[in-house]
Amino acid sequence: MALDSMSGSVPQFTVLEQAGGLVLRRKAVFRRALSDRQKEAAWRLRAAAEIWQGFGRAQGQAWEHYARTLVRRHRFSGQEYTPTAFAAFTALATKVLQIDPEAPVPTWPPEAPFEGDGLVVSVEAILGGLEFMADRPDAPGVTTEILVQRLRNARAKPVPVYPSQGFVVFAPGTMRWELALRPGWYSAAVRSVLAMTGQTTRLVPIGEREVVA
């Protein structure tokens, strides 16, 4: 290098002055370790992408037609949009695998929309967690997804991102489900899922509760 003295950084490199002269060292790249939940989500996406790559022309056209029937709303901006065929397939495939990693993924689009089964879920705080109660059993083939987000404090408003906490099949004799949580304020939501296709109803917030130890 045609410089006698220099130190600092340039894109992807750090320049150091040492006894033997200037040293150009590549910057270290630090990546946050993925949580188990993130690793599972990444696996589901890879599995769906591999299945998509094996589709023939007819299947691709079928998913393109299906995607054009969908209207999505951006969870932050509220703007409506139509997903791509790949996104429409992936949304259903990953939901099926989220419920059961061994379940067969639907390779053709659903033949009919899914409106849910009319089940209504309420939530109450219990010692060390939340209890979810259904007013009726889930319909055959339908499961209820439980979603909860932790709030900063009692005044904080929930954001549109609700992490999934699992899937529950409410049935006679098992109409309640408990979720253990750390002390704090939480916002809860639910949605119904058709397990074979991965179709879901819209997310329904059902209340904010304080959990105490």
Per-residue model confidence as pLDDT tens digits over 199-211: 999 999 999 999 9
Q: Each residue of 111-132: pLDDT tens digit?
A: 999 999 999 999 999 999 999 9
Q: Each residue of 78-112: pLDDT tens digit?
A: 888 999 999 999 999 999 999 999 999 999 999 99
More confident residue, 26 or 108: 108
- 21 and 41 inside one domain: no
Total number of domains constituting the chain = 3
Is 192 within the bounds of a domain?
yes
Is 108 within the bounds of a domain?
no
Is 83 within the bounds of a domain?
yes
Residue carrying the six token digits 């993130």:
38
For the residues 160-181, what does the mean pLDDT come to?
96
What is the extent of the structural domain holding 163?
A: 121-211
Last residue of a domain, one of 53, 68, 99: 99
Is 104 within the bounds of a domain?
no
Is pLDDT at 4 greater than 50 in this prediction? no
- pTM for this predicted structure: 0.81
- 125 and 203 inside one domain: yes
- 148 and 205 inside one domain: yes
Query: Would you state the pLDDT for residue 3?
Result: 41
Q: Which of 140, 162, 142, 167 is nearest to 151 (CA)?
A: 162
- 155 and 188 inside one domain: yes
CB 187 within 8 A of CB 207: yes
Is 111 within the bounds of a domain?
no
